[in-house]
């Protein structure tokens, strides 16, 4: 972060219950950092705490297992100055899995503009790549702390239903994966959280008719796939609950 060619105006570290000596390291090596320690409340709570504390107009996020390239903030700032109608900017990324660079699949391709429908299948924006004007959070809210996973998917749906997104095709972050404590390894049936998000935005999102229909179609598709998996695992109560949800749509 401090290797950025355009240094951040402030750095806020939310320590979500770590036991690895983070506080001591920061106090010794980076005393300028605003450090907040909280009980282990989850990634959404940690991000929301940082967003609430931020004094600046623009918010950049950095997860603990990601890394910014040195030009990340400078290039985003320049791009947003050139196109001030945008309040959200994200970038291309490099993926590292178990120490080896891997190619993204076609479904993970990034886009700019009005990308709501591209956000429906899966998370289309990486939290560590974004630069977001704080006014956006005031309008659409922050991360949903009731979602133990797919909280970023939920936020991008709410955000991209109302705002276009500026996309820089330069890889300006590195995403590291493959470790055992990733959320995607912790929870079975991740789509159930996406289902929860889709159902919520249908109910509260005030979508135009085209986006509403596309959202409903994706919700039915994800429920159908999830139900098949639940049936194989003998989760009959969930099967009945999600079938009932389809009938109610």
Using one digit for the tens of pLDDT, what is the confidence trace for 228-241? Answer: 888 888 888 888 88
Q: How many helices (H) and strands (E) does the chain have?
A: 10, 8
For residues 132 and 137, what is the distance between their CA atoms, to the nearest angstrom? 8
The DSSP H or E segment spanning 217 is: helix 209-232
- Do residues 244 and 225 both lie within one domain? yes
Is residue 97 within 8 A of residue 184, CB to CB? The reply is no
Domain, as residue range, for 202: 191-248
Domain co-membership, 203 together with 182? no
203 and 111 housed in the same domain: no
Instruction: Please check whether residues 82 and 170 belong to one and the same domain.
Output: yes
Whether residues 181 and 237 share a domain: the answer is: no
Reduce the DSSP state of residue 122 to 3 states and report it.
coil
Q: Which residues contact 180 (CB under 8 A, 6 or more apart)?
A: none
Number of domains in the chain: 2
Domain match, 225 and 163 both: no
At a CB cut-off of 8 Å and minimum separation 6, what does 151 contact?
43, 44, 143, 144, 145, 193
| 47 close to 143: Cβ distance less than 8 angstroms | yes
Q: What is the mean pLDDT of the chain?
A: 92
Of the pLDDT bands very low, low, confident and very high (cuts 50, 70, 90), residue 243 is confident
What pLDDT is recorded for position 40?
87
Separation CA 156–CA 8 (nearest Å): 23
> Do 207 and 165 share a structural domain?
no
Q: 179 falls in which pLDDT band (50, 70, 90)?
A: low
Q: Which pTM does this prediction carry? A: 0.91
Answer yes or no: do 65 and 176 share one domain: yes
Across the strands, what pairs with 101? 96
| Cβ atoms within 10 Å, residue 62 | 18
pLDDT-derived band at 130, boundaries 50, 70, 90: very high
Instruction: Please say which residue of 186, 221, 238 terminates a domain.
Output: 186
Check whether 189 has a pLDDT greater than 80: no
């Amino acid at each position: 972060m401090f290797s950025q060619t355009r240094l951040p105006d402030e750095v806020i570290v939310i320590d979500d219950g770590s036991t690895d000596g983070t506080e001591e390291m920061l106090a010794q090596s980076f005393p300028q950092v605003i450090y907040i320690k909280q009980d282990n409340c989850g990634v959404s709570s940690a991000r929301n705490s940082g967003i609430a504390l931020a004094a600046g107009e623009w918010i950049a996020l950095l997860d603990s297992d990601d890394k910014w390239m040195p030009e990340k903030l400078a290039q985003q700032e320049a791009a947003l100055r050139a196109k001030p109608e945008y309040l959200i900017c994200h970038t291309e990324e490099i993926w590292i899995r178990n120490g080896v660079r891997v190619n993204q699949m076609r479904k993970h391709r990034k886009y700019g503009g009005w990308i709501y429908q591209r956000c429906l299948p899966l998370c289309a924006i990486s939290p560590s790549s974004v630069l977001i004007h704080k006014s956006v959070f005031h309008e659409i809210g922050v991360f949903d702390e009731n979602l133990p996973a797919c909280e970023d998917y939920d936020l991008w749906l709410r955000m991209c239903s109302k705002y276009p997104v500026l996309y820089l095709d330069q890889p300006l972050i590195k995403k590291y994966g493959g470790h055992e404590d990733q959320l995607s390894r912790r929870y079975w049936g991740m789509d159930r959280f996406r289902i929860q998000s889709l159902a919520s935005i249908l109910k509260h999102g005030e979508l135009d008719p085209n986006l509403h229909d596309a959202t409903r179609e994706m919700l039915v598709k994800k429920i159908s796939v999830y139900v098949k998996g639940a049936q194989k695992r003998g989760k009959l109560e969930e099967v009945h609950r999600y079938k009932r949800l389809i009938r109610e749509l």
